Amino acid sequence: MHIHILGICGTFMGGVALLARELGMIVSGSDANVYPPMSDQLEAAGIKLQEGYLAEHLDPTPDLVVMGNAMSRGNPAVEYVLNKGLPYVSGPQWLAEQVLKDKWVLAVAGTHGKTTTSSMLAWILHDAGMAPGFLIGGVPDNFGETARLGETPFFVIEADEYDTAFFDKRAKFVHYHPRTLVINNLEFDHADIFDNLAAIQQQFHHLVRTVPSEGLIITPSHVDSVDHVMRMGCWTPQQTIGLNEGQLRAEDIAEDGGKFDVAIDGEKAGQVDWSLIGMHNVSNALAAIAAAHHIGVTIEQGCASLGKFEGIKRRLELCGEVNGVRVYDDFAHHPTAIETTLKGLRANIGKQQLIAILEPRSNTMKMGVHQHTLANSLNAADQVILFEDAGLDWSLTDIQQQLGDKARVESSIDNIIKLATENAEAGDHILVMSNGGFGGIHQKLLDALSDE
């Protein structure tokens, strides 16, 4: 069977492509931007990639076209598919029908931490010898790939609330039918498709409705937005997690989150001593441990496995160090994620200088939805450089004024590189936050530091 994937280089659709190839299908795909790391994974798997959305990419005619949710009416390839009557399906529906239908699905949902928690969970199961399948919106360093079928019924998936396709406006995750569900947290995001938090909570309610009564839903303790969803209706046992609270909890937490005990129902059951930092990652770890425990992995084993967890690309990833100056990449897209990442790094580096470079690139950021909370999320940095490009619908000047002298707004990547590196000294840390490629700024910063 030959499938052609439109939007193949997105993390989710790229994962679909890898799974289809592993199933023995012939896979080709098109995308507006064919770039690493996903393009490297796909080409290594023998998948033909084509730049742009041209009708000729669908010649010879595939047996099925799989549509990414970035596709919309007016796209030349989409119009060709519709006009020619070619069979087509959304990525989530394809996944449900071809991969998940016979699996014990462990789904990780929430506004923040989905990629990290899914990666931790997949690694715990793998390390425990359970050979899971997975599809994750990032590249876990322990695996070096976004997706695999696995060798057992267990399948870990990052469960996104974004809409499925231009012809299916349900959230992606309603297709997955998890037996084990993690809801990490819940805040307003994706303002391009949701009017308010209540609209997102309705989608999460639809997800909760699909979890069987013999399953498990894992939620944070005392989070009003999540508790509201559960009060809308729940037919499944629930386990709460939290920092010093909840049924499964982290205790005796090191200041930077690099070490903590895990207790269940008041009894210590294990200790995590690992390379990750930040309270957000402690919470992510608890969720992963709880989900793995639901299918038989002991808490002690889960903790030990996380001691060998290597992290995820683009999640506070160290890109390099030049003359004692470290440059990091982080996939920041929301003020809460920005704040927790900066606080975690600050706790780890103490009083060493922390320079934060932010590109507000997500659709919600571009719309200015988070402009009233963005400045506070950057307080832990010593210097802040804000990138204001032509695609932004609002001015960053107000954010700069709230932060005072330590902040600058720039519309040139070259100027940002100069500002960040010209006075950098050994022991400084430069954190780049963007959910895009940001013009290759990470390597350019390292090159500039080498020149200095």
Sequence-distant (≥ 6) Cβ neighbours of residue 308 within 8 angstroms: 123, 127, 142
Sequence-distant (≥ 6) Cβ neighbours of residue 368 within 8 angstroms: 392, 393, 394
- pLDDT number for residue 166: 96
Tell me the residue type at 384: V
Torsion of CA 283, 209, 104, 92, to 10 degrees: -90
CATH of domain 2-90: 3.40.50.720
Asked if residue 334 lies in contact with residue 189, where contact means CB atoms within 8 angstroms, the answer is yes
Give the start-to-end residue ranges of the domains of the chain.
2-90, 102-306, 317-451
Per-residue pLDDT tens for 171-201? 999 999 999 999 999 987 777 778 899 999 9
Reference 156, options 194, 109, 190, 193; nearest CA is 109
- pLDDT number for residue 363: 65
- pLDDT number for residue 367: 64
Stated pTM of the model: 0.83
Q: What is the 3-state secondary structure (H, E, C) of the chain?
A: CEEEEECCCCHHHHHHHHHHHHCCCEEEEEECCCCCCHHHHHHHCCCEEEECCCHHHHCCCCCEEEECCCCCCCCHHHHHHHHHCCCEEEHHHHHHHHHHCCCEEEEEECCCCHHHHHHHHHHHHHHCCCCCEEECCCCECCCCCCEECCCCCEEEEECCCCEEECCEEEEHHHHCCCCEEEECCCCCCCCCCCCCHHHHHHHHHHHHHCCCCCCEEEEECCCHHHHHHHHCCCCCCEEEEEECCCCEEEECCCCCCCEEEEEECCEEEEEEECCCCCHHHHHHHHHHHHHHHHCCCCHHHHHHHHCCCCCECCCCEEEEEECCEEEEEECCCCHHHHHHHHHHHHHHHCCCCEEEEECCCCHHHHCCCCCCCHHHHCCCCCEEEEECCCCCCCCCHHHHHHHHHHEEEECCHHHHHHHHHCCCCCCCEEEEECCCCHHHHHHHHHHHHHHC
CATH of domain 317-451: 3.90.190.20
Sign of the four-CA dihedral 331, 400, 344, 442: positive
- pLDDT number for residue 366: 63
| CATH 3.40.1190.10 applies to domain 102-306 | yes
- pLDDT number for residue 19: 97
**What span, in angstroms and rounded, lies between the C-alpha atoms of 388 and 411?**
5
- pLDDT number for residue 29: 95
Asked if residue 333 lies in contact with residue 188, where contact means CB atoms within 8 angstroms, the answer is no
What is the CA 151 to chain-centroid distance, rounded?
A: 24
Q: Which ranges of the chain have pLDDT less than 70?
A: 333, 362-370, 452
- pLDDT number for residue 79: 97
Per-residue pLDDT tens for 386-402? 998 877 777 888 888 88
**What span, in angstroms and rounded, lies between the C-alpha atoms of 407 and 385?**
6
**What span, in angstroms and rounded, lies between the C-alpha atoms of 378 and 358?**
9
Asked if residue 374 lies in contact with residue 399, where contact means CB atoms within 8 angstroms, the answer is yes
Go through 330-365 and write b for each residue having 16 or more CB atoms within 10 A of its CB, e for each that does not: bbbbbbbbbbbbbbbbbbbbeebbbbbbbbbbbebb
- pLDDT number for residue 20: 96
